[in-house]
Amino acid sequence: MYEYLNIIQLISGIAAAALVFIGIFISVKKLNPEKYETIPVKSTVISIALIALGLLSYAVTKTCTNLTVETAEHYELGTIYFASVGEVVKSFGFVLLVPILFRLFKPRTAKKETAAQDFSEELEEN
């Protein structure tokens, strides 16, 4: 089992980086004010799910690191994994808030205001 830890660690590290990047990219892509007035809830949920999977994948990387330490041999794999998840959440858990913050603080466009003004001007003309 220990001979494959480096390969598992490398694959899970690359997967973690890719999932977090894709999750943030989906939210950033929706910041375009010309296409989207607000970030859709579905995109926010998908972004959070991808980032959470990325963080869990990074926890696998940390687990492989902790398994190679000689003092960790008397612990069970589940205990080491949950300790790694706690360490990852403590260090990088704030990344889960990025899509939510994008959704909350995205500046509103003036499309509705101009449409309302055009409608009121048409009513005044008639």
Instruction: Encode pLDDT of 13-58 as tens digits.
Output: 999 999 999 998 988 887 776 776 777 788 888 998 999 999 999 9
pLDDT for position 115 = 54
Cut 0.75: pTM above it? no
Q: Which of 41, 34, 27, 37 is nearest to 108 (CA)?
A: 37
Provide the residue count of the chain: 126
CA distances from 112 to 87, 91, 118 (A): 45, 41, 10
